[in-house]
Structure 1
């Protein structure tokens, strides 16, 4: 049989997990849940040294791991760096959890309905 893929965006990992459990009853070939960001890096696991300057505005406000000065300037120029904005007024703000599903073609329409009824952005 043929396979199809779905990229669905959610606001929280819990929302994506809930839908992934519902999708398990369908013919899922593969599925994953990931968080993505416009900025590199993961969670801040290393302590920052305020005296040596081993810190950045983007690291503090956007949880970014900045690797060079140019990337730091670019990230700090974002409206989100102030902590007073999410960076935009568009309809997709906050949808930073990606549910990726590879599913048999016969179950595709049903999986799409389940995701959209739960508020996922497809």
Structure 2
């Protein structure tokens, strides 16, 4: 049995979850929904005054980064507050639906994703 993989991008997790529900009727081997950004690490909701500040980016971009990613994120124009960013990066479609389907269901899965507004 041959498998095919699909990477589809969406604007919201709800859009991806809706498509995932539609794909359940097909021969799905694996499916996951993830959010990604241009920097490694996860966001933080800790108040600045009570948490340790690991990098400038942890304060200005509200994130927890590894040391290397923190240096990179702090060098971004969004960290200084002196720019609107304008550097591109993931905008809008930052939700990734990863699907592995049986080859016999591949074209049908692609059609469902595209009809639902997914970007392949």
TM interval, shorter chain, is: 0.7 to 0.9
Q: Aligned residue for 1:95? A: 93
1:55-86 per-residue CA deviation (whole Å, 9 max, x = no partner) reads 54422443431333x64342133244448346
1:1-122 counterparts in 2 under 5 A? Answer: 1-49=1-49, 54=53, 56-68=55-67, 71-81=69-79, 82=81, 84-85=84-85, 87-88=87-88, 93-122=91-120
- Specify every segment of 5 or more residues in structure 2 that has no aligned partner in the other structure, as ranges: none
After the TM superposition, list the runs of 4 or more consecutive aligned residues in structure 1 that deviate by more than 2 angstroms. Answer: 45-50, 55-64, 70-74, 76-87
TM-score by length of 2: 0.79
* Equivalent residues of 2:42, 2:64 under 8 A apart: yes
TM-score by length of 1: 0.78
> What is the number of residues matched between the two proteins?
118
Structure 1 position 38, deviation (Å): 1.6
Structure 2 Cα separation of the partners of residues 112 and 80 of structure 1:
36
- Specify every segment of 5 or more residues in structure 1 that has no aligned partner in the other structure, as ranges: none
Structure 1 Cα separation of the partners of residues 14 and 119 of structure 2:
15
Query: RMSD of the alignment, in Å?
Result: 2.6
